[in-house]
Amino acid sequence: MHDTLRFYMPTRVCQEPDCVARHADALAALGPHALIVTGRRSSRMNGSLDDVTAALESQGVDYTIFDAVEEDPSVETVMAARDAGLAGGAAFVIGVGGGSPMDAAKAAAVMLAAPDKGWTHLYDGPAPALPVVAVPTTCGTGSEVTGIAVLTRHDLGTKVSMTPRVFPRLALVDGRYLLHAPQRILVNTAVDTLSHLIETVINARADAYSDMTAFAGLTAWRACRDVLEGRAALDAASAGQLMHAATLGGMSIAQTGTSLPHALSYLLTCRGGIPHGAAVGAFQARFLALADPVRREAVLHAAGFPDTASLGDWIAVHAPVKADAALLRQSAEAVLANTAKLRTCPYPVDAAIMETLIGGVPTV
The answer to whether residues 78 and 163 belong to one domain is: yes
The answer to whether residues 351 and 204 belong to one domain is: yes
The answer to whether residues 171 and 200 belong to one domain is: no
**Cβ(251)–Cβ(193) below 8 Å:** no
Strands 150-153 and 132-136, by their bridges, are unpaired
The answer to whether residues 38 and 75 belong to one domain is: yes
Residue 147 lies in a domain: yes
Residue 2: predicted pLDDT? 58
CA angle (108 as vertex; 107, 113 as ends), nearest 5: 100
* Rounded Cα–Cα distance for residues 332 and 312 (Å): 19
Domain containing residue 334: CATH number: 1.20.1090.10
The answer to whether residues 199 and 52 belong to one domain is: no
DSSP sequence for 253-305: HHHH---HHHHHHHHHHHTT---HHHHHHTTHHHHHHTS-HHHHHHHHHHHT-
Measuring CA to CA, which residue among 147, 167, 241, 152 is closest to residue 11?
A: 167
Q: In one letter, which amino acid is 114?
A: A
The answer to whether residues 231 and 349 belong to one domain is: yes
Query: Residue 66: enclosing H or E segment and its boundaries?
Result: strand 62-66
Residue 233 lies in a domain: yes
| The CA-based dihedral angle spanning residues 305, 146, 112, 174, taken in that order and rounded to the nearest 10 degrees | 70
Residue 2 lies in a domain: no
Domain containing residue 119: CATH number: 3.40.50.1970
**Domain final residue, candidates 176, 200, 217:** 176
The answer to whether residues 220 and 268 belong to one domain is: yes
**Domain final residue, candidates 141, 176, 211:** 176
- Which range marks the domain in which residue 84 is found? 12-176
Residue 298 lies in a domain: yes
Q: Mind listing the pLDDT tens digit of every residue in the chain (364 residues)?
A: 557 899 999 999 999 999 999 999 999 999 999 999 999 999 999 999 999 999 999 999 999 999 999 999 999 999 999 999 999 999 999 999 999 999 999 999 999 999 999 999 999 999 999 999 999 999 999 999 999 999 999 999 999 999 999 999 999 999 999 999 999 999 999 999 999 999 999 999 999 999 999 999 999 999 999 999 999 999 999 999 999 999 999 999 999 999 999 999 999 999 999 999 999 999 999 999 999 999 999 999 999 999 999 999 999 999 999 999 999 999 999 999 999 999 999 999 999 999 999 999 999 9
* Residues 6 or more apart whose Cβ sits within 8 Å of residue 60: 28
Total domains in the fold of the chain: 2
The answer to whether residues 90 and 205 belong to one domain is: no
